Amino acid sequence: MTTDKPVVLIAEELSPATVEALGPDFEIRHANGADRAELIPAIADVDAILVRSATKVDAEALAAAQRLKVIARAGVGLDNVDVKAATQSGVMVVNAPTSNIVSAAELAVALMLAAARHVSPAHAALKNGEWKRSKYTGIELYEKTVGIVGLGRIGVLVAQRLSAFGMNVIAYDPYVQAGRAAQMGVRLVDLDTLLDEADFMSVHLPKTPETVGLIGADELAKARPHLVLVNAARGGIVDEAALYDALKTGRIAGAGLDVFASEPCTDSPLFELENVVATPHLGASTDEAQEKAGIAVAKSVRLALSGELVPDAVNVQGGVIAEDVRPGLPLTEKLGRIFTGLAGEVAQQLDVEVRGEITEYDVKVLELAALKGVFSDVVEDAVSYVNAPLLAAERGTAVRLVTEGESPDHRNLITLRGTLADGSQVSVSGTLVGIAQKERLVEVNGFDVDLEPTDHLAFFTYEDRPGMVGTLGGILGDAAVNIAGMQVSRSARGGAALVALSVDSAIPADTLTEIQGAIDATAVRHVNLV
């Protein structure tokens, strides 16, 4: 029997609290989302679908979903949801970005303790009838130094818990203000210092092109030989081959791993080592985390299907936002990500400046979009319109929205302007042009540009002199990096100059270093928006 109620398809086993949170206003259906033959016809006439990790909501499923408005992932990751295809189809994607933070933090501590006390091999030996007390003598956490790599929400929770163990906590995170860390009793250091001082290390970073392989052979060679390394964040941040070599040769003492570069991972050389304790990505696998995730996405579905603002939407935003303001949201979020790439740290003061006709409307949402972009590549958990201001406050960033009706050069102009810890300023401006409302970068650190903000951008600041553009282009050509767009801007003839590039692929780190030396660049910044 059909009803006039919106239809919600629950495609995997979710907490009973999820259905309770949806309430009586929806028709609830169930299907096995992992079975494609069952999923495709089941999704045809539903308004929302709730999934976990086994159901793939891809382009094929979206094509079959004639009425779908919302895809809700009861968890943090979105690997099984084609967000781009959903966005193109006008389907909102929501997740539960904070549902698992306590569970993930507790697992990191559990892995650290297990590795320190050889719990896994001692357990296996005892089950095998062997009583090996002396072989599995461990070490205490008390009065040792732990290095937290990434002081985001989970990193902070881990730091708090390990402080209670009597540990000395240091952290590496270029996007956290030293004063904010000091308030938590954490000393901020650079990565080399952390590796030199840490007895234990726990990784809590997002996986980005910049963080993949961050802890590799060179870094592990700098570590103390008794280091115990824990990674319960994302696979690939720690180079698994380098970690195996370091553990096998005794370069470091032990490791606790919950994540792997390729998952599911059931066959790894690391599993052969007694000084490794490993779990199959259990960070969010607690009853409490699953219940929190289910309730959170159920609330988001209710908001979305009633036309309200959905704070945890990761692509399109619902709610009452003026039609003239809405096209500026993706641009502003990109400006935020570019700002972070240019700054390389979090600003102490960030102004979101909005100028032009758009200021006739409520543009507060643009401030939220800017913050969402600023922190998207900084923290390990998903950033939403709700938690972005909290992330700014946690990192000691003061935020101000500035509006001005006059905009001399553009119909509307959005600028992010920030003051860094050393007093220097970083700025980036963008606008929408033409009937198609195409996104353009029009200013970077005071230099006028006109560039499309594509997936891969690079910015080089140097002293204006002949031949520099050709040199730069030649090096990129040798590296097989194709230039899609280029802008050269300068303050005065022979003064400071900026080359802004959009390229078709990410620029390798050694190529950036080569360019910096060849043109004697004073600043090199590479921004990946994928």
- What are the residue ranges spanned by the domains of the chain? 1-97+285-320, 101-278, 321-445, 448-530
Residue 314 is classified by DSSP as: S
At residue 216, φ and ψ (nearest 5 deg) are: -120, -160
2 has pLDDT over 60: no
* Annotation: CATH topology of 101-278: Rossmann fold (3.40.50)
Topology of the domain comprising 1-97+285-320: Rossmann fold (3.40.50)
Query: One fold for both 1-97+285-320 and 321-445?
Result: no
Per CATH, which fold does 448-530 belong to?
Alpha-Beta Plaits (3.30.70)
Residue 508's SS3 state is coil
Q: Is the dihedral of CA 457, 463, 469, 472 positive or negative?
A: negative
Residue 161 designated active-site? no
**317 has a pLDDT exceeding 70:** no
User: And the tokens for 456?
Assistant: 């891969």
Is residue 263 annotated as a catalytic residue, yes or no?
yes
The domain 321-445 is placed in CATH, from the list 3.30.1330.90, 3.40.50.800, 1.10.10.60, 1.10.260.40, at 3.30.1330.90
**What local confidence, expressed as pLDDT, does residue 460 receive?**
94
Catalytic residue among 52, 234, 395, 456: 234
For the chain, the farthest-separated pair of C-alpha atoms sits apart, in whole angstroms, at: 81
- Give CA–CA dist 333/367, Å, rounded: 9
| From 263, 308, 360, 452, active-site residue | 263
More confident residue, 74 or 389: 74
Residue 140, sorted as left (phi over 0), alpha (psi -120 to 50) or beta, turns out to be beta
From 281, 302, 525, 526, active-site residue: 281
Q: What percent of the chain has pLDDT over 70?
A: 97
Q: Give the residue with greater pLDDT, 85 vs 42.
A: 42
How are the residues of the chain apportioned to helix, strand and coil, as percentages rounded to the nearest 5?
A: 35, 25, 45
Is residue 60 flagged as an active site residue? no
Read off the pLDDT band of 1 (50, 70, 90): very low
Name the pTM for this structure.
Answer: 0.72
